[in-house]
Amino acid sequence: MIGDWIDIGPLSAIPSRGARTVPVAGGEEIAIFRTGDDAVYALVNRCPHKQGPLSQGIVHGHAVACPLHNWRINLASGEAIGDDKGCVPTIPAKVDAGRVLISRLHAVTSALAA
Q: Binding residues for ligand FES, per CB under 6 A? A: 47, 49-50, 52, 66, 68-69, 71
Question: What minimum distance in Å lies between the beta carbon of 68 and ligand FES?
Answer: 4
Structural contact between residues 86 and 46, judged by C-beta atoms closer than 8 angstroms:
no
Structural contact between residues 76 and 90, judged by C-beta atoms closer than 8 angstroms:
yes
- How many angstroms separate the Cα of 90 from the Cα of each of 5, 12, 40, 58, 105? 15, 22, 12, 18, 12
Question: What minimum distance in Å lies between the beta carbon of 53 and ligand FES?
Answer: 9
Q: Which is nearer to ligand FES, 66 or 91 (CB)?
A: 66
Cα separation of 41 and 110, whole Å?
14
Q: Which is nearer to ligand FES, 13 or 81 (CB)?
A: 81
Q: Which is nearer to ligand FES, 66 or 93 (CB)?
A: 66
